[in-house]
Structure 1
């Protein structure tokens, strides 16, 4: 055999897609695992022509599932971000959009038994330690992808997947404000460095001479902005205790501006070397938390909700995303949990093949 076949389920989760594997079907050592994922996705070519990636960061993501080793959880979810062209695999972050498909995929794989009406799947995000409860539609005990839920960035309607995130504060750095400050300044730009579900560096669009309403294409074409943003991200990453982040997708970068379409605040999110076509689930939680925190760079950009839970509507490049934030405001902002509604759909299943010279199989 010149190739090794690995069982997988190909899913769209939220506004991302990629293969979902049973962790037991993959190499145990991290180095070989990375090579297998690079081959499976086709990293190293702008179109991922020799793999199943889609030539964009939102289509080169991987979920690896297993029965949880945590007494609380049903499923362990291990995430990998595979680069499109650079042949890099980043195991540090997690992805909330791909997480949207974890509950359905776990049922598809037989890791969780569906119950009548709705199935609650308790998920431990291995990369960050976050705990997430997913509620998946299973009428008559059977998984369905049909429904009336709509999310910006995905055409059509599908069955809703309700997600409730807990334990996401300081998930990567151990602190809500990793630098210890509500605001820092790098290269003359004020930012808030915050770690809620995803470590982020958040700035005001106007401080870069932007409106905050630019399209994805307009932002991606603005290479001067990206060069300055990356310099700030690298400096902020070091200040956040994350070391040299030049080859890591974290911390992510976000921009804020006053809402103009009826939302709470306008946002743009970066992955970080190009603009996200919509909004990451993890990034949405961090941006919503920043919007609610007095003293952050969001000051003056919104009428800040004061009662909990608060619905924070983030305007993004493709529409809006609603984050229901349960919080406390004593001397400072404290996040209890964040809820979002997503959808997912199974696209294919079977085996994906990688050259046997990379891995001969279990």
Structure 2
């Protein structure tokens, strides 16, 4: 694919606008789709990016259908990844995530997107930004996320000619068919934006919400957690009755969730006020947690190896998420693994239906824990039920004898596919 070294201005259009040509690749990455762009094809100053990316995605003039661009009119299909070869030690590529507003002119660089992240390694390999050796069948791509200052290691499969192997037998919830497995390890994900796993110092707390339209002030039980991305995690049964009674897509229900999210943002130190929190819709995010009901029968074919620990209803940019953010899975899995959080408590309480002669297994501790210093390294699989299916992660955590914890890594698998490559044309 021929790629100019900078954006080319081709022809003057009516009303003084200029047509621009932006070399790019459109990819499905996990359960999201987005525009993948090399950093060298964008202006040196990030202040010039918003107008260009809004136009390229079709969000200029706050168009909700993105008809004049490549966006898919949903938050999960209106994303951008900017990738550059890295000068950082032991890092292959730098990756900046950008959420483009749908029906608004919002351009949010405040957090990471794990689903779009899963396409970064394949993109970097296919674009020659990382190289393989002859005969190599897989490669580890070390990625630095500039939004959060965190390192991610992606293990991807390689074809005989050194390109990303898209085809395989791995399947993931929310995507039809099978593809090559992309293994993603978030290294030391805690404190992505606040510097702490639990920014307030509490593993669970009561959150007083005073700004929900049409409702008297109320409190919800929350865990405010920051791993890969900051999340406001809410215990389902503590939500006001109005939320339980309403359709999840109703204006009142969405306003209620947004009021809780904004309150959590202020409490976490991510916003100075409720109004300021409302201006940044991308972070923190919010998810409502509820216990799972898992049936296990005598049949080995129907028995679940890892029954779901918790069920979630997540939100993205003010709307219910059709599945679950990958960074959300990292954050929630970290919370499930730490005693004292609402996620950990819900996982312990999950109800497992089994025949009387088959004892239930509800342990939340890892098997074969390794003793390290004054503590132990715990490895455990966390399974999360979401609207499109289930998602499992592997958490590795150090747990001190005094209750101190350190999340060393959270690993998860995704798939990705290159859909088109070429140039996006837009006018400014």
State whether TM-score is above 0.5.
Answer: yes
Match for residue 245 of structure 1 among 262, 272, 277: 277
* Separation in 1, partners of 2:79, 2:187: 23
Give the unaligned 5+ runs of structure 1: none
CA contact (8 A) 2:75 2:101 kept: yes
* Separation in 2, partners of 1:152, 1:204: 24
CA RMSD between the two structures: 1.9
Q: Deviations over 1:160-183 (max 9, x none)?
A: 111111031101111111122222
Moved over 4 A (4+): none
- CA displacement at 1:232 relative to structure 2: 1.8
Aligned to 1:128: 148
CA contact (8 A) 2:78 2:100 kept: yes
- CA displacement at 1:293 relative to structure 2: 1.9
Higher relative contact order (CA 8 A, sep 6+): 1
Q: Deviations over 1:75-132 (max 9, x none)?
A: 0001100011111100111101000000111112221113420121110001101111
- CA displacement at 1:209 relative to structure 2: 5.4
Match for residue 190 of structure 2 among 162, 166, 169: 169
- CA displacement at 1:213 relative to structure 2: 11
* Separation in 2, partners of 1:114, 1:226: 47
Aligned to 2:22: 6
- CA displacement at 1:353 relative to structure 2: 1.1
Tell me the SS of whatever aligns to 1:123: strand
Over 3 Å counting, the alpha-carbon distance change for 1:213 and 1:349 in structure 2 is: farther
CA contact (8 A) 1:323 1:338 kept: yes
Q: TM-score, normalised by structure 1?
A: 0.93
Matched, 1:109 2:124: no
CA contact (8 A) 2:99 2:109 kept: yes
* Separation in 2, partners of 1:26, 1:172: 25
Give the unaligned 5+ runs of structure 2: 1-10, 13-18, 210-218, 295-306, 349-362, 367-377
Matched, 1:198 2:229: yes
Q: Deviations over 1:233-271 (max 9, x none)?
A: 112211211112212111000111111243111112111
Aligned to 2:72: 54
1:288-303 counterparts in 2 under 5 A? 288-303=333-348
* Separation in 1, partners of 2:345, 2:225: 18
- CA displacement at 1:218 relative to structure 2: 4.2
* Separation in 1, partners of 2:90, 2:320: 36
- CA displacement at 1:28 relative to structure 2: 1.9
Aligned to 2:365: 306
CA contact (8 A) 1:213 1:317 kept: no
Aligned to 2:249: 220
CA contact (8 A) 1:176 1:194 kept: yes
Number of equivalenced pairs: 353
Larger radius of gyration, structure 1 or 2? 2
CA contact (8 A) 1:260 1:266 kept: no
CA contact (8 A) 2:383 2:393 kept: yes
Aligned to 2:398: 328
Aligned to 1:138: 158
Tell me the SS of whatever aligns to 1:350: strand
- CA displacement at 1:292 relative to structure 2: 1.9
